[in-house]
Structures are given as C-alpha cells and as structure tokens.
C-alpha cells in the first residue's frame, strides 16, 4: 500500500532505511563508502519533505511510503518528465520486505497513479545487476533495454492499452 509521507511517516521511513537498507539503495552517492551518515539522513528527510506537495509542488514529484503488514518498508516516487505524458518512477524497499510481493503491489499502485495523472508512458531504470527489479518490471509489462553507456537497464511501459498488474 502507498501512503502519503507525513512527518510521522517520514520518521518511520528514516528508521526503515537506516536499519534495513543500504544508503546507496536509498540515496544518491553523497558520501564515499555507501554508509549512512547524518548528511544522507538529512538528504532523505529533505527529499521527502520537498516532494510532499505532490505533482503541483515545486519539484513536480510525488513520493509515498510503502507499507506492508502495517509497517513502513520503503518508498516509491513518481515524477512528470519533461516530455508531456511521460512519468518517471522509482522504488526502494527494506531488505526484509523484498521477495514478498511488496514491490509488485507498490509499482501497480504507482502505475495507477500515473494513469490517473494522464500518463501515456511510465519509465524507470535499474542497475544491470538488479535482476529482481528487471523481473518485476518485465512482469508489469515494461519493455526493457540495456544501456551500454550507463550500465543500467532502462524500462518503458506504454499506457495506451489497459495494463494487467
């Protein structure tokens, strides 16, 4: 389930991230070594506060906490791309939540939110070595394209026809 990030939810998200996910899975590589630092934790808080206004806010991006069995276990995002009708998405989950269908449910929710906002296409990308994410995206109907330039796999989902999730 996706829920808006309130102050209370944000603190639960920070605890989930810092205790059950690596910093590099959650934030950009702000500090060497991939460890959780005060700088990365502050970045995480600021990022979600900046995006709490949703698509009409200054960033044009929305984030939600991912909740499974009543516990905050990750975050998902959706941002309108520069190209009209194209939305970019991303997700991270705690290690405990992985492999339990949580990502699939969260991504299905994100696709639904994109469609509600008039998306004609949803894009994502993942590391070339993240086979679980690639399987998920493929299962949801995304077309995958490895990029030799970036070392990542780009994914695109056309929303012109009904999506089965």
- Region for 54 from its dihedrals, namely left if φ exceeds 0, alpha if ψ lies in -120 to 50, beta otherwise: left
Split at pLDDT 50, 70, 90, the class of 81 is: confident
pLDDT of residue 53: 63
C-beta of residue 123 within 8 angstroms of C-beta of residue 89: yes
pTM comes to 0.88
pLDDT of residue 71: 96
Assess whether pLDDT exceeds 80 at residue 8. yes
C-beta of residue 76 within 8 angstroms of C-beta of residue 106: yes
pLDDT of residue 54: 65
Instruction: From 59, 100, 96, 98, select the one nearest 80 (Cα to Cα).
Output: 59
> So where are the chain's domains?
2-158
Neighbouring CB atoms inside 10 A of 147's CB total 11
C-beta of residue 59 within 8 angstroms of C-beta of residue 48: no
pLDDT of residue 64: 95
| Structure tokens given for 90 | 């991303």
Assess whether pLDDT exceeds 90 at residue 120. yes
CA distance 52 to 46: 10
CATH of 2-158, one of 3.20.20.70, 3.40.630.30, 1.10.3720.10, 3.30.70.270: 3.40.630.30
């Amino acid at each position: 389930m996706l829920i808006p990030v309130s102050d209370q939810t944000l603190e639960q998200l920070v605890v989930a991230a810092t205790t059950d996910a690596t910093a590099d899975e959650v934030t950009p590589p702000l500090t060497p070594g991939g460890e959780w630092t005060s700088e990365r934790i502050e970045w995480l808080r600021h990022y979600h506060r900046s995006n709490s206004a949703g698509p009409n806010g200054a960033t044009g991006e929305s984030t939600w906490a991912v909740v499974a069995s009543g516990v905050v276990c990750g975050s998902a995002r959706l941002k309108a791309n520069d190209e009209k009708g194209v939305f970019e998405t991303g997700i991270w989950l705690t290690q405990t939540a992985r492999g339990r269908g949580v990502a699939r449910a969260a991504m299905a929710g994100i696709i639904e939110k994109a469609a509600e906002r008039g998306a004609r296409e949803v894009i994502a990308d993942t590391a070339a070595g993240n086979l679980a994410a690639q399987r998920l995206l493929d299962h949801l109907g995304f077309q995958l394209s490895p990029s030799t330039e970036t070392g990542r796999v780009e994914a695109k989902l056309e929303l012109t026809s009904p999506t089965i999730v």
